[in-house]
Amino acid sequence: MKRILFASGLAILVFDSTALAQAQAPSRHGRAVLKEFCVSCHAIGKTGTSPRPSAPPFRTLGRSYDLDQFSRQLERGISSGHPDMPEFKFSADDARAVSAYLRSIQQ
């Protein structure tokens, strides 16, 4: 009986940790995308200042933008009009991952 309870408990722990890892995967991927394309100008984490003072830290984007709209803008292509910022266009998966990550760091 103890073995059955132990095995059941272990199975629940494994399932829960797998579900948690899958839920965190888009957020991790989103951070990786931002790290590749945006970190040279923007602060991409929960803390820190942007390397370029005129570039807003991503943890505050939710104050100025609807993050659902922002995700769609990333898919269509985003251009700030600022001469130092290149135009970006992300795949649907990358845009959703970036949006998931941005939601996780908003202040």
Residue ranges per structural domain of the chain: 23-105
- 15 falls in which pLDDT band (50, 70, 90)? very low
Pick 5 or 32 by higher pLDDT.
32
Contact 91, 76 (CB under 8 A): no
Specify which residues 78 forms β-bridges with: 88
Q: Among 1.10.760.10, 3.65.10.10, 3.20.20.140, 1.20.1560.10, what is the CATH number of 23-105?
A: 1.10.760.10
Looking at residue 33, its pLDDT comes to 96
Both tokens assigned to 73? 């803008």
Single-letter amino acid, residue 45: G
CB atoms within 10 A of CB 98: 28
Give tens-digit pLDDT for 76-102: 988 776 777 888 899 999 999 999 999
Give tens-digit pLDDT for 34-76: 999 999 999 999 999 999 999 999 999 999 989 889 889 999 9
Burial of 44 (0-12, 13-18, 19+ CB in 10 A): buried
The DSSP secondary-structure symbol of 90 reads -
- 22 falls in which pLDDT band (50, 70, 90)? very low
Pick 8 or 103 by higher pLDDT.
103
